[in-house]
Amino acid sequence: MNISTLKLLRSMGLTLLLLILLEVITATVLPLIGIEDYQIPFNILIVLYLSFKLDSPYLAVLILMVQFFHSLFSIESWAIGTFIGVLISRIIYLFKETVQFFAFPLVIFVVQGCFFLWLLFSSLFLYFQNGPVWSRIWIFIPESLMASLLAPVLFLVLERIWKQDEEASLRGVG
């Protein structure tokens, strides 16, 4: 295990702790202040951040870990989230060289676009399982908008966790 791998594990551990903290807050504090119909999908935001920022070949494993920990707080199957997460990370991989996050509005715009992709894939999955999914779309839209608006802040926090310098680049871990 080299330094980069250690750094990857340490950063992932911190990211999972952050996810757990955010899941606990959304499951306990938000309903008490009257927000019980919507939940901010922080797990998707973290998957998107990792997909945009990380060049590690272990990205799919990290997505699996995020979705597994998310499934501890939700009955949403880890499998669907992982499948969609890996698919979207592949799509992002193709385009990420052309996207540079130099301004907050751009982050919000790009994240919202990715959320629509996520909605498309998850709706397809749930359609095959349960039939029409129109009602979900009207809840997903405000949820994804809230998440997109929060994305720049969360990405800044994640940026600190995954801070990459030249000598400990995550590229080529292993």
Please choose, out of 2-10, 19-27, 101-109, 153-161, the segment that lies near another protein by the rule CB under 8 A. Answer: 19-27
Tell me: does residue 171 bind another protein (CB under 8 A).
yes
Q: How far is the CB of 70 from another protein (least distance, A)?
A: 10
Three-class DSSP category at 128: helix
**Choice from 9, 17, 24, 156 touching another protein (CB under 8 A):** 24
Tell which one of 14, 20, 146, 150 touches another protein (CB under 8 A): 20
Helix (H) or strand (E) holding 30: helix 3-32
Contact of 89 with 50, CB cutoff 8 Å: yes
The token pair at 159 is 């940026």
Q: Determine the residue type at 86.
A: V
56: which residues sit within 8 A by CB, 6+ positions away? 8, 62, 170, 171, 173
> CB within 8 A of 119, min separation 6: which ones?
137, 140, 144
Q: Establish if 4 lies at the interface with another protein (CB under 8 A).
A: no
Site for another protein in 116-155 (CB under 8 A): 122, 125-126, 129-130, 133, 135-140, 143
Binding site for another protein (CB under 8 A): 20, 23-25, 27-32, 34, 36-39, 41, 55-61, 63-64, 69, 71-80, 82-83, 86-87, 89-90, 122, 125-126, 129-130, 133, 135-140, 143, 171-172, 174
